[in-house]
Amino acid sequence: MTAASATPNTVTKVVQGSSSAPDWTATASAISNSVVSITVTTSNGGGEGSGVVIDSNGNIVTNNHVVSGATSGGQLTVSVGNKTYDAKVVGTDPSTDLAVIRVTNPPTSMKPIRFADSSKLTVGAPVMAVGNPLGLSGSVTTGIVSALNRPVTTTNGDDSGDLLGSRDSSSGVVVTNAIQTSAAINPGNSGGALVNANGELVGINSSIASLPSSDRSQSGNIGIGFAIPANLAKSIADQIVKTGKATHAFLGISVRDADAVESNVKIRGAGVASVTPNSAADKAGLRQGDVITKIDDTEIPSGESLVGLVRSLKAGQTAKISYIRGSKEATVDVTMGTAKS
């Protein structure tokens, strides 16, 4: 049996009778007016994507690469069912590939989604991806959480994910410690919702893994999709709605992949290549040559993983960093600085 509970101005929460066999029909129905289709029309053509309603004022969170054309003069519209509304960009955050847009006169049918605590997600949990894949609005697919804290590199404007990339957002590349899911995600799903069986947002669909192709054409889903965790999406969206932009945590190191040895065991981590003077890392005593292996309870297997995890933290937030210096492990509390705009 499936029950439901409602909170004013938010989507109905679906209470599942069975965690092992969710009633996905009820979930899809509950969030049908919380996920919208987005169209950007420019002089060069345009594109389509998805977005998630986050409040009753018409604010919608999506991917930056979905609406980037609208920031340079393109027309932006949002569709709910068979109705289309004008929208405008409130603010963008290219470093996390997130953006907020706002429907000019939001209809009462648009229902803000509920946010889940994405830090409590577990591998194997059932999830549903909702969006506008290939222009097919209102599409849903189901699967499971395949992995957590997966370091994924994407290029703004491209729906493809690269697990081995090493660049950063200064060159238009985004590194995210993403949720990996088997729920089918295709081009056009970007900016849509990844929800749990209760209809609560756990992530913003953002990219797919694709097989190499000689002509660089965009492939469809191969069973590996990625979503930006809901906690990060909420933090960035709240800042953009309030101020038009977002701030980010700054640790103050450059990193590379590195190995360390402790008790005759080789441990993969993020090697500290350099430390910025007077930065959070410098003040905490981190040094060149240290190998960072964990932040709080999350293991750090690579430099890219560290970059993605730091970007999920807030400026001023304190985190416990575990590292190996020589052959000895140590931990230190680090209060994150603020990255320059």
**Residue pLDDT, tens place only, 64-87:** 989 988 877 778 999 988 899 999
The domain boundary residue, chosen from 57, 76, 103 = 103
The domain boundary residue, chosen from 54, 80, 103 = 103
Asked if residue 238 and residue 141 are part of one domain, the reply reads: yes
Please answer whether residues 255 and 306 qualify as being in contact, where contact means their C-beta atoms are separated by less than 8 angstroms: yes
Asked if residue 282 and residue 326 are part of one domain, the reply reads: yes
Asked if residue 224 and residue 127 are part of one domain, the reply reads: yes
Give the DSSP letter of residue 259. E
Token digits for 106? 């939001």
Is 39 part of a structural domain of the chain?
yes
CATH of the domain at 47: 2.40.10.10
- For residue 239, the one-letter residue type is Q
Is 108 part of a structural domain of the chain?
no
Asked if residue 165 and residue 73 are part of one domain, the reply reads: no
Q: What is the mean pLDDT of the chain?
A: 85
Is 109 part of a structural domain of the chain?
no
CA 91 to chain centre: 16
Asked if residue 74 and residue 8 are part of one domain, the reply reads: yes
Element at 139 (helix H, strand E): strand 139-155
Please answer whether residues 53 and 241 qualify as being in contact, where contact means their C-beta atoms are separated by less than 8 angstroms: no
Rounded alpha-carbon distances, angstroms, from residue 32 to 70, 181, 283, 338? 25, 21, 49, 38
Asked if the model's pLDDT at residue 159 lies above 70, the reply is no
CB atoms within 10 A of CB 289: 15
Asked if residue 203 and residue 128 are part of one domain, the reply reads: yes
Q: How far apart are the first and last CA of the chain?
A: 50
The domain boundary residue, chosen from 103, 124, 156 = 103
**Whole-number pLDDT of residue 170:** 38
Asked if residue 187 and residue 255 are part of one domain, the reply reads: no
Q: How many domains does the chain have?
A: 3
Asked if residue 141 and residue 53 are part of one domain, the reply reads: no
Asked if residue 256 and residue 317 are part of one domain, the reply reads: yes
φ and ψ at 103, to 5 degrees? Answer: -70, 130
Asked if residue 287 and residue 219 are part of one domain, the reply reads: no
Is 320 part of a structural domain of the chain?
yes
**Whole-number pLDDT of residue 2:** 42
Q: In this predicted model, what pLDDT tens digit does every residue of 251-290 receive, in sequence order?
A: 999 999 999 988 888 999 999 999 999 999 999 999 999 9
CATH of the domain at 273: 2.30.42.10
Per-residue confidence band for 244, with pLDDT thresholds at 50, 70 and 90 = very high
Instruction: For 41-56, give the DSSP string.
Output: EETTEEEEEEEEE-ST
Asked if the model's pLDDT at residue 333 lies above 60, the reply is yes
Is 45 part of a structural domain of the chain?
yes
Q: In this predicted model, what pLDDT tens digit does every residue of 81-110 receive, in sequence order?
A: 889 999 999 999 988 999 999 998 899 889
Find the mean pLDDT for residues 178-198: 91
Asked if residue 89 and residue 118 are part of one domain, the reply reads: no
**Whole-number pLDDT of residue 104:** 85
What is the residue range of 81's domain? 3-23+32-103
Is 228 part of a structural domain of the chain?
yes
Asked if residue 267 and residue 239 are part of one domain, the reply reads: no
Question: Reduced to 3 DSSP states, what percent helix, strand and coil does the chain have, rounded to the nearest 5?
Answer: 15, 45, 40
Q: How far apart are CA 61 and CA 58, in angstroms?
A: 10
Q: Which residues are catalytic?
A: 65, 97, 190
Q: How would you classify the pairing of strands 160-162 and 59-62?
A: unpaired
b (16+ CB within 10 A) / e for 218-257? eeebeebbbbbbbbbbbbbbbbbbeeeebbbbbbbbebeb
What is the three-class DSSP state of 200?
A: strand
Is 300 part of a structural domain of the chain?
yes
Please answer whether residues 196 and 125 qualify as being in contact, where contact means their C-beta atoms are separated by less than 8 angstroms: yes
Is 321 part of a structural domain of the chain?
yes
Length of the chain: 341
**Whole-number pLDDT of residue 161:** 31
**Whole-number pLDDT of residue 70:** 81
Asked if the model's pLDDT at residue 4 lies above 80, the reply is no
Please answer whether residues 228 and 206 qualify as being in contact, where contact means their C-beta atoms are separated by less than 8 angstroms: yes
Asked if the model's pLDDT at residue 164 lies above 60, the reply is no
CA atoms within 13 A on the CB side of 72: 9
Q: How far apart are CA 326 and CA 324, in angstroms?
A: 6
Asked if the model's pLDDT at residue 113 lies above 80, the reply is yes
Rounded alpha-carbon distances, angstroms, from residue 31 to 54, 71, 107? 12, 28, 15
